[in-house]
Structure 1
Amino acid sequence: MARAILLLPAARRLGAPSAAVATALGRADVAAGLGEGRRAQLRRSFRLLPDHWPVAALTRQLDAGDAAGAAWLRADPCRIQADINGARLLDHGDTLGLDAEDAAQLLPALRTVFGDAGMPIDAPTPTRWYLRLAPSTPLPAFTEPDDALGDDVFEHLDPGGQGRRWRSLLTEAQVILHNHPWNARRIAAGKRPVNSLWFWGGGELPDQVRSPHARVCTGDGLAAALAAAAGVGAPLPARFDAAADGGDVAYDLTALRDMRTLERDWLEPALDALGAGRIASLVLDTADGTAFTLARGHRWRIWRRRRAGFHA
């Protein structure tokens, strides 16, 4: 009999649970301090050999199937807004609502800059843009965009000598995008402009990706790339379905923000499956680094108090 693992967003992104879910959480075994953030959460479901985190190469392989033999760097479209304290990252990738026409209009203007630097730029999907680099190209430490949202971008630019080249390339790209007529059309249509790029996720494909799960069901680009590399990828169903193949199944629900939807479509049917013996246990793994493990026998822990939420 299989386990079901629900990968959940951070507790602060979820509202208060219903009485039934709060009771179940109170009776669960709790493990805290497992590692906070999306990267740590995914690392609990995937092991890379060698142990590094080359997001660009992994998603490139998913998007285009040609990642082998090169290093890759994401150069994702983004929106930066100046204010009195600097310039802040407000949107990137999917949140800009880009389509194939946007990429087709904007990318040609950037190809000379990056081509002359020996790193061709392209976009097999409209929201994920890539630079192809020679293998073993040294790169400064780049911040993942989700970790920089709302921050002054200058806090996340490498001030050292290795970062100088990238700061120069970024400045050139920003001038080109700021002056591009397609952005004027987007603004006139009530859309947000693409006025900068965000470099991140550099590296080469790992030799191997492993997962302890039989399936990982997800709609997230990076998780899907990892799952595909491990040979366990599957689309995320509309609601919980108990595993029928005997292996542990992880469901990636980190994009959910509505507590009622989470309970109705996932937590309640999963708890029903646990009570009926269709799954051996249920693990609720939050992006805060806390995991709640529920077993069928925990229903007898009637002396335990309800939990007000998914906090440790």
Structure 2
Amino acid sequence: MAPRPVVTCLLPGLFGPVPAGASGAVQDTGPYPNLQRLIALGRHRPAHSAPSSEALIARVGGINEPTGGLLASMLAERPGSRDAIHYRASPAHLQPDRDRLLLFAGELVRPDAADRQGIAERFNALYGDDGLWLTPAGDEWLLTAETPPGPNLPALAEVTGRYLDTALPGGSEFRRWRQILNETQMMLFDHPTNTQRARRGGLAINGLWFWDGGAVAGPLSAAFDRLIGDNPLLEAIGGLSGIGHQPLTALEAGPPMPGMRDLVVADGSEKALLGGDIAGWLEALQWVERDLAPLLTTWVRRHDAEILLHTGNGRAYRIHRANRWRFWHRPPRLADQLVEQ
């Protein structure tokens, strides 16, 4: 008998943390019977909380490389020496709140190709002589530093929705980071990119957040046979491990083959929550209800697949065909699964 396919499905942010009161919005836009049925078929097991898709991917894939170094491996030409450190450089929107600034990120501040190039050119003109370069990479940038400006700053998911002054670590070892962040804000204040974004009705990119730096990653061992999703880390991991990577739309092509180990990452919920976008989070939740949950249920019932579902909030669900006898198990209220901030 052929071994069953195993699909590890990561849905970071699906159940939060969400702003207080979001459970009411779920009740107003529900019901969500497909997702509730899928969860009801699963056997719950405790799992380590992971604050981001990056942390979830690293945990299930056994990857210990900084994501900056992973993404740097994708660049055909990298500025700096072989010993340079590469940091994620994520676009941010800093929103005034009285005399303080709240930091938001995610899909609402995603730059287009012209934004990425224009901001990189001005940054490099300002900092190139200091051994710092900004290079477009995916939907953000990489900051290459000949000499690290200081210890790593907190991960992006840990600072979004917070006041910038509380997100920035104190201490003299972070002084250079604080200087770069402040100067970057001033550089972006009147940048033509933001003029164009304002005309399109978009949020200004008036800050950058630098995080998870590391040297260029080397070859990785493969924990999966196939990677599916639009997260840029999957492409980098695929290139370093020699396994296939496909976009999320590849799910429509059909079920996994017997014995295959697939990793699926659908991070739309997380991207919305990084920007405090509850409407976008509800839209991602509805996509799971409409498209993903029925597909996974079909794979379990018709193709004997085993689904390992992780949402990053301390819960995991193991779903396989033997659980079909759990028809008596009452589907949980979706609002009860949410974790509030």
Please tell me the TM-score bracket, short chain as reference: 0.7 to 0.9
Q: Aligned residue for 1:122? A: 135
Q: Aligned residue for 1:5? A: 8
* 1:47/1:210 contact within 8 Å kept: no
Cα 1:279/1:206, change in 2 over 3 Å: farther
Q: Aligned residue for 1:221? A: 232
Cα distance in 2 between the residues matched to 1:99 and 1:300: 49
Deviation at residue 109 of structure 1 after TM alignment:
2.4
> How many pairs does the alignment contain?
305
SS in 1 for 2:162: coil
Choose which of 87, 99, 103 in structure 1 pairs with 2:101. Answer: 87
Superposed, 1:129-278 pairs within 5 Å as 129-134=141-146, 137=148, 139-232=150-243, 233-237=245-249, 239=251, 241-244=254-257, 246-255=259-268, 257-276=283-302, 278=303
Cα 1:246/1:66, change in 2 over 3 Å: farther
Cα distance in 2 between the residues matched to 1:207 and 1:64: 14
Deviation at residue 148 of structure 1 after TM alignment:
1.6
Deviation at residue 177 of structure 1 after TM alignment:
1.6
Give the partner amino acid of 1:116: D
Deviation at residue 145 of structure 1 after TM alignment:
2.2
Structure 1 gaps, min length 5: none
Larger helix proportion, structure 1 or 2?
A: 2
Determine whether 1:31 maps to 2:50: no
Determine whether 1:299 maps to 2:324: yes
The TM-score normalised by the length of structure 1 is 0.84
Cα distance in 2 between the residues matched to 1:20 and 1:110: 47
Cα 1:300/1:131, change in 2 over 3 Å: closer
The percent identity for this pair of structures is 23
Cα 1:21/1:203, change in 2 over 3 Å: closer
Give the partner amino acid of 2:326: R
The TM-score normalised by the length of structure 2 is 0.77
Q: Aligned residue for 2:85? A: 71
* 2:134/2:144 contact within 8 Å kept: yes
Deviation at residue 46 of structure 1 after TM alignment:
1.7
Q: Deviations over 1:222-280 (max 9, x none)?
A: 2332343233322222545311263111211221544443233222232222222x234
Cα distance in 2 between the residues matched to 1:18 and 1:186: 35
Choose which of 64, 68, 71 in structure 2 pairs with 1:59. Answer: 71
| RMSD (Å) for aligned C-alpha atoms | 2.9
Determine whether 1:41 maps to 2:56: yes
SS in 2 for 1:223: helix
Deviation at residue 18 of structure 1 after TM alignment:
4.2
Cα 1:303/1:210, change in 2 over 3 Å: same
* 1:46/1:226 contact within 8 Å kept: no
List structure 1 runs of 4+ shifted beyond 6 angstroms: none
Cα distance in 2 between the residues matched to 1:183 and 1:162: 32
Give the partner amino acid of 2:45: A
Deviation at residue 65 of structure 1 after TM alignment:
6.2
Cα distance in 1 between the residues matched to 2:191 and 2:295: 50
Cα 1:304/1:120, change in 2 over 3 Å: closer
* 1:27/1:305 contact within 8 Å kept: no
* 1:242/1:279 contact within 8 Å kept: no
Give the partner amino acid of 2:8: I
